[in-house]
Structures are given as structure tokens and as C-alpha cells.
Homo-oligomer: A and B are copies of this chain.
Amino acid sequence: MFFASDNAGPAHPAILSALGAANTGFASGYGADPLTIAVTQQLREIFEAPEASVHLVATGTAANALALATLANPWDTIFCTPDAHIQQDECNAPEFFAGGAKLTLVGTGDKLTPDTLRTAVAAEQSRGVHGPQRGPVAITQATERGRIYSVAEITELTAVAREFGIPAHLDGARFANALVALNCTPADMTWRAGVDAVSFGGTKNGCLGVEAVIFFDPARAWEFELRRKRGAHLFSKHRFLAAQMQAYLTDGLWLDLARRANASMARLADGLRGIEGVRFTAEPQANMLFPEIPRHMHDRLQAAGAVYYLWDGAETGAPEDRLTLRLVTDWSLPEAEIDRFLSLARG
């Protein structure tokens, strides 16, 4: 009954097998191997972006920090939500890679709105050289609360960015989960909606450790290559990154896995909805849920071995005898585990 994170499950067997298939003889290092070339092409096709520059790294933090550093000057500020991974969970990696740039926290919670974003961007750079300059907007899809921006919402946010001449980055650590929920194309959710660069996640959705960074305008491709290398994120045996990504993308595996994770969450939410004492206002849109439950229910679940994080109760104003959980499902979670969790919750 593991609901703590989608980065703790196993890799999908097809992805693991791809490592073995790639493990034959010698292959040029550092991305000059045929698999990397093939997967680059594959991603361009999936994104309907034949000119895009595509780069693989092994961690989501690397994808975000390197992408944002490429889009931001050291004297800029990056606009994101207070809940964003780049703010909460990367130990200042964006600041480090961007040479000391700042993060400006927009609004509250996990989602930007055009209004909060416009206000925040407008407020910066009003005093010439004294304050930080306007840097990229960082949108997280799905958000850290498992919510999803519609294509229209993304388009509105990037329109604000365009107003101010700043680029838009999409942190897609859960790109696939969002995409299948929206039932649109990768192009619709990104460049057609005004996004300039994407961190395209694989690790949370069945890979061992691989993410792609995609710039739809390839002008800064070489800069990114240099940033990746000096960030120590260029793999010598690069085929093992490429092989994962290739298997992930082949025959829509990435979409299947995301559908499974989202479906698991839907099943979990459906079950929880009917249980007395369980409350959640936001319906799950992807693979995360934050239900509030009585403490005794929590104690029972824990005692039975359920694994999950508590969300900060104070933040949601829950009384002390009630707790908010963060539940995350990944592709590999057996239905039986969900049902057992529900059964335990029912008491």
C-alpha cells in the first residue's frame, strides 16, 4: 500500500528490457550513439516539432534547473507558485544553475492564474537596475497538488509572458499524467499553447531515471549542451538514457502508464468518496489526492502498513483530530492494494 510517491515504484519491464537490448557492443559516448539520435527524432515527432532541440538528463531537478538557467539571466527572477518543485524541493538548484537568479512566488498554492501572474510580473523591474529583472514563467503540469491546467489556461499564462517578453517553461515531471487527463496532443499542451521549453518527465512514470528537455526554438541548443556538460549531467554511456526514453515512448507506453496511474487514483477517490469522515474538495485530475481523514483512520492505515505523506494540516485549517494526506499512485500500483487501503479506511 505505497502511496507516498510516484518516484518509488519499479521501472516498467519494457523499459528495463530496453537497457538489455541496448547493451550490445560499443556505442559512441555522450549522445553520439544511434539510439540517442533515434529518440531525439521520436520526441520531435511526438511533439510535432521537427526543429526542436532535445536533450536527455537523468533527474527532474536537472531538467528544470538546466532549462531555467538557459532561459534566465543571473539577475532575473523566475515566476512560479509557492508550491512549485523548483521552490520547495530542489535545494536551490535553480538558483545555483542560473548563477544566483531569484524565484518570485506568485499567488498562493500550486496554480498560477493570469491575474496573479500579471500582477507579479508587472511589479518586478519597475525600478530599472535596482530590482531583479523579469525572467521566465515556470508552469508545473500537473501541479504539485495533482491539478491540471487546461490548454486554455496554459495559453492564457503564456500570453501574459508574451506581454512582458519573457519565456515560458513547463515543468512536466508528470507530463503524461496531465496529457492523458486533458486528452490533447503534446503539441497542444506545449508550443501551440505558447510554451517555449519543457521538462518532459519519464522517471515518475515507469523509467529508471530519464527526463527530456525540449526547446521548441533550437537557438539555445548549444548553450544547453554546454550547461549540461559543465553541470556534470552529460552521460558518457548515453545510450542507456536513450534506451529508456525510447521504450517509454514506443507504442504509447508512456500514455498507457499514465492512464493506469490516473485510473488508480480515480478508483481510490471513488472509494474514499463514500467513506464517512473522509473529505476532499478537489476531485483528482491526475494521480494525486489530498483527502482529509480522522486521526483514528490514519492510525489504522499506518498500523496496517499504508505508506504516504501527511500534508501540512495547519495549511488547510484542519482541526487537530483530522489530518490531510497526500496520496500518489503510480502505474505499478496493484488494484488489490487500493482496495485493501479502502477497506482499511472503511474500518
Residues of A within 8 A of B (CB): 2, 4-5, 7-11, 13, 16, 19-20, 23-30, 57-62, 65-66, 73-77, 88-93, 95-103, 105, 127, 129-133, 203-204, 208-209, 223, 225-237, 240, 307, 332
A90 in complex: contacting residue of B65, B74, B90, B232, CB < 8 Å: B232
Measured CA separation A76–B222 after assembly (Å):
13
A95 in complex: contacting residue of B95, B234, B236, CB < 8 Å: B95
Given known pairs A23-B10, A88-B130, A89-B130, the reply for A97 and B232 (CB within 8 Å) is yes
Given known pairs A8-B28, A25-B10, the reply for A75 and B208 (CB within 8 Å) is no
A16 x B10 contact (CB < 8 A): no
Measured CA separation A230–B86 after assembly (Å):
11
Which residue of the partner chain B has the closest CB to A330? Answer: B26
A2 in complex: contacting residue of B4, B26, B101, CB < 8 Å: B26
Measured CA separation A223–B91 after assembly (Å):
12
Measured CA separation A75–B99 after assembly (Å):
12
Closest 3 CB pairs of A and B: A7-B236, A62-B232, A2-B26
B130 x A229 contact (CB < 8 A): yes
Question: What distance in Å separates the Cβ of A218 from its nearest Cβ neighbour in chain B?
Answer: 16
> In the complex, what residues of B have CB within 8 A of residue A236's CB?
5, 7-8, 59-60, 203-204, 209
Given known pairs A209-B237, A237-B11, the reply for A230 and B29 (CB within 8 Å) is no
Which residue of the partner chain B has the closest CB to A1? Answer: B26
> Could you list 30 A-B pairs, sorted by A, with CB under 8 Å?
A4-B26, A4-B28, A7-B236, A10-B23, A10-B25, A19-B208, A26-B332, A57-B232, A59-B233, A59-B234, A61-B229, A62-B232, A73-B223, A76-B92, A91-B130, A91-B133, A91-B229, A93-B230, A95-B101, A96-B230, A97-B232, A99-B100, A129-B226, A129-B228, A129-B229, A130-B229, A209-B235, A209-B237, A209-B240, A232-B233
